[in-house]
Structure 1
Amino acid sequence: MLVKEELNRYNRQMILPELGPAGQEKLKAAKILLIGAGGLGCPVLQYLAAAGVGTIGIVDDDVVELSNLHRQILYNHTDIGQPKVKMAAAKLQLLNPHVSFSAYHERFRADNAINICQDYDLVIDCSDNFTTRYLVNDTCVALGKTLIFGSILQFEGQVAVFNHQGSANYRDLYPAPPTENINCVEGGVIGILPGIIGLYMANEALKLITGIGEPLSGKLMTVNALNNTVMVFKIAAKKTAETAKPAPAKTDKAVQEIDSTTLDRWLETHADEVFLIDVREDYEHEENNIGGINLPLYGLTASLTAIPKHKKVVCYCQTGQRSKMAVQVLAGLYEGEVYSLKNGMA
């Protein structure tokens, strides 16, 4: 229920017939998680907080640096050396005391991804590296969460809405990371660009929460700030089977990992007691694998009957990231021991 001060605060957007009081109530009830409180995260956070999103989670393990300030204008020079999530939450609370903030001063990792994400309605990826982007995507697919994606480099930015009502996900657009990873540190970025792209991302969040307009679901929008071109491309969803949503189960247990030496020893001495699962996609398994069966992470919960009871289950992938997530998913669903192959096939 909106209080009198909120009615006055949000008056200018509530008079929009598309939004109205009902839309504002939806914003107040919404829970949104942001991964990254840097260039993209700052404008997204500022405008979602100002718009009245009721609960906002912020994940970032970084601290404010001088080189951030030309584009991350939520911070100032007195914040240098301080955790971004701490500074962001404090400043945003002053902006809107009616919003509740949860600050996660930690890196978004495979062993905490599901626990952090599962209580939020919507996830917004404002990260700046491919490892995190793929992990955020895979977590959202596993949990059935809609994901708003944004990226920036030099003068060009991208915005998309993934995994929304069966639409394409990030891996449908980019199946594998590029061989060369040029980021803002190496390639540079004009300071205004994250503001432009971040506002588009915030706008997508408001539309998705309130159910108005046409979101960028299954579409990729590119914006070039140097020549003022905006293009929108359609993205085809490559997966054919519906992704099963895992039963949310909070757990603080650390993911059990084994190294390749231990796995080799188990397979040599007690092979009949070990059950290997490759949680990568089928095309990855066909290209190269170390044995076992292929049960992709996206549909893992729908394949529980394929996993024999009373065996040591070892999940593996290319780097050990998706297999950690698989262990988290299986933790509350499988009675036996479940392990992740540390560092994966790599």
Structure 2
Amino acid sequence: MADLARYSRQLMLPGFGAGGQAALGSARVLVIGAGGLGSAVLPQLAAMGVGTIGIVDDDVVDTTNLHRQTLYAPYDVGAPKAARAAARLRELNPEVTVRAHLDRLSSANALELFGAYDLVVDGSDNFPTRYLVDDAATLAGIPSVWGAVHQFGGQVGISWDAQGPTYRDLFPVPPEPGTVPSCAEAGVLPSVCAVVGGLLVSEAVKLITGIGSPLLGRVVAYDARGGGFRELSYDRDPERMPVGELIDYERFCGLAPAQEETDSADMASPDDVPDEITPAALAALREGGEAFQLVDVRQPWEAELASIDGAVLIPLRDLPARWQELDPAAPTVIYCHSGVRSAQARDLLRSIDFENATSLAGGIDAWSREVDASIPRY
């Protein structure tokens, strides 16, 4: 029997057997994110015989993804991740049902999506989505297995309001914007995605089959540099308000679009200076011959990879000691890779009378995508 041969090595596991395999075959698992963690989680779920797998991701494959998002090949660049991932899973195991959800997960569609699944595996890479997944899973009455990676380490836990504490009990409030760099800002070791992804799958399998002790009320942290794991236990927060509805998670995490963001290229009046300027507006400034100073606050190695002509390179960490190299009276546009460090630099310069300082929305990555494709993305 083909099924018996395929799954024989897991069927022989103590306590697993035909019952465990049947549970996997009946399970409906929704995976949020087909990136670094999703690339580790999805093939394992499919290969093990999870009956229905949903993939939620609205992004497309980029060259910078390929070192860690091993579901994709160079010829996939530009293609929707969820669609390409679904095709790979069907090749791995034609017996499983795979559903690709190419829409961005939001408060408007989360509950409808979650209602069709028994379990969520959250491999997202941003805090608004993590809180959205946690709240939506709570309202849907299903568990969420969540993971996060950062540079050389990662974390894994389970959030299940019906059985124990949730992500909100562990992290009642999100971190301040800009305090936790993204993978694009800080990097990530590909093998960390594999380790954390494997842990996510193990927790999902334990919940589905009833085997072992799930990480409910516990978080496992992995440190690749030290080669070790540690565990943190936590309980319900007695002061946590129950989840009653889904909210605006961008605003909750302090990431709602700035009210002053504009496409206008006019930066003459300090009172009207926006917090951010779009790539299109910066291009208009340059084409119009407007006088302004362009400041790059990335690291030197990043500037060697890609830079915008005419920029003064002053890494963010050096800015407090080198701001005198700039003209406080001149209109100033600051950029980094994606806009996080440049926003911090803008606030620093404004605090020392750079009244006409603004940040490039989306950084040089957005500039490359929207204005000058000749600039390499990284």
1:197 aligns with 2:196: yes
The Cα of 1:164 is off from its aligned counterpart by 5.8
Q: Alpha-carbon deviations, 1:139-176, whole Å to 9, x = none? A: 01111110101000000100001116421111111111
Mapped pair 1:83 → 2:96: no
Alignment of 1:173-184 (within 5 A): 173-179=170-176, 180-184=179-183
Aligned to 2:190, the other structure's residue is in SS state coil
Question: CA separation in 1, counterparts of 2:125 and 2:62?
Answer: 15
The answer as to whether partners of 1:135 and 1:321 remain within 8 angstroms in 2 is: no
Is 1:33 aligned to residue 30 of structure 2? yes
Partner of 1:297: 243
User: How do 1:154-173 and structure 2 match up within 5 A?
Assistant: 154-163=151-160, 165-173=162-170
CA contact (8 A) 1:63 1:84 kept: yes
Measured after TM superposition, the shift of residue 12 of structure 1 is 1.0
1:167, 1:217 within 8 Å by CA — same for their partners in 2?
yes
SS of structure 2 residue aligned to 1:10:
helix
The CA deviation at 1:235 is 1.3
Which residue of the partner structure matches residue 209 of structure 1?
Answer: 208
Determine if contact 1:13/1:20 at 8 Å carries over to the other structure: yes
Aligned mates of 2:225, 2:16 — CA distance in 1: 33
* C-alpha distance in structure 2 between counterparts of 1:318 and 1:78, whole Å: 34
Give the drift of 1:30: 0.3
Q: Match of 1:11, as an amino acid?
A: S
Q: Which residue number in structure 1 is paired with residue 92 of structure 2?
A: 95
Partner of 2:224: 225
Post-superposition offset of 1:5? 1.7
1:133 to 130, 133, 143: 130
Larger Rg: 2
Deviation at 1:317, TM superposition (A): 6.9
The structure 1 residue matched to 2:141, chosen from 133, 140, 144, is 144
Q: How do 1:1-346 residues align onto structure 2 when only pairs under 5 Å count?
A: 4-163=1-160, 165-179=162-176, 180-239=179-238, 282=241, 296-298=242-244
What is the distance in 1 between the residues matched to 2:29 and 2:155?
20
Q: How far is the alpha carbon of 1:17 from its aligned partner? A: 2.6
* SS across alignment from 1:202: helix
Contact 1:147–1:164 under 8 Å retained in 2: no
Partner Cα separation in structure 2 for residue 76 and residue 33 of structure 1? 23
CA deviations over 1:103-153 (Å, ceiling 9, x no partner) = 000110000000111110100100000000000000011111101010000
Q: Under a length normalisation based on structure 1, what TM-score does the superposition of the two structures give?
A: 0.69
> What secondary structure is seen at the aligned counterpart in 1 of 2:236?
coil
Q: Structure 1 CA distance, aligned partners of 2:16 and 2:131?
A: 33
Query: What is the aligned partner in structure 2 of residue 251 from structure 1?
Result: none
Q: Displacement of 1:59 after TM fit?
A: 0.1
Mapped to 1, the partners of 2:172 and 2:32 lie a distance apart of 21
CA distance in 2: counterparts of 1:227 and 1:148, whole angstroms: 25
Distance 1:126 1:237, change over 3 A: same
Q: Secondary structure at the match of 1:192?
A: helix
SS in 1 for 2:29: strand
Q: Percent identity?
A: 43
Opposite residue 121 of structure 2, the aligned amino acid is I
Could you report, residue by residue, the CA deviation over 1:174-215 in whole angstroms, capped at 9, with x for unpaired residues? Answer: 111101231111111111110110000001111110100111
Structure 2 residue aligned with 1:342: none
Aligned length: 251
Task: Name 2:334's counterpart in structure 1.
Answer: none
Aligned equivalents of 1:47, 1:36: Cα separation in 2: 15
What TM-score results when the alignment is normalised by the length of structure 2? Answer: 0.64
**Aligned residue for 1:270?**
none
- Check conservation: 1:60, 1:106, Cα contact below 8 A: yes
Is the partner of 1:13 in helix, strand or coil? helix
Q: Distance in 2 between matches of 1:217 and 1:38?
A: 25
Q: Secondary structure at the match of 2:163?
A: coil
Q: Could you tell me how far apart the structure 1 residues matched to 2:180 and 2:44 are?
A: 30
- Secondary structure of the residue that 1:236 maps to in structure 2? coil
**Structure 1 outlier segments of 4+, above 3 Å:** 315-322
Q: Shift of residue 316 of structure 1?
A: 7.2
Secondary structure class of the residue paired with 2:31: strand
- Root-mean-square deviation over aligned CA pairs: 1.9
Local SS of the residue matching 2:107: coil
Greater relative contact order (CA < 8 Å, ≥ 6 in sequence): 1
Change in CA separation of 1:38 and 1:149 when aligned onto 2, cut-off 3 Å: same
Question: Secondary structure of 1:40's partner?
Answer: helix
Q: In structure 2, how many angstroms separate the alpha carbons of the residues matched to 1:7 and 1:239?
A: 48
| Contiguous gaps of at least 5 residues in structure 1 | 241-280, 283-295, 301-314, 323-346
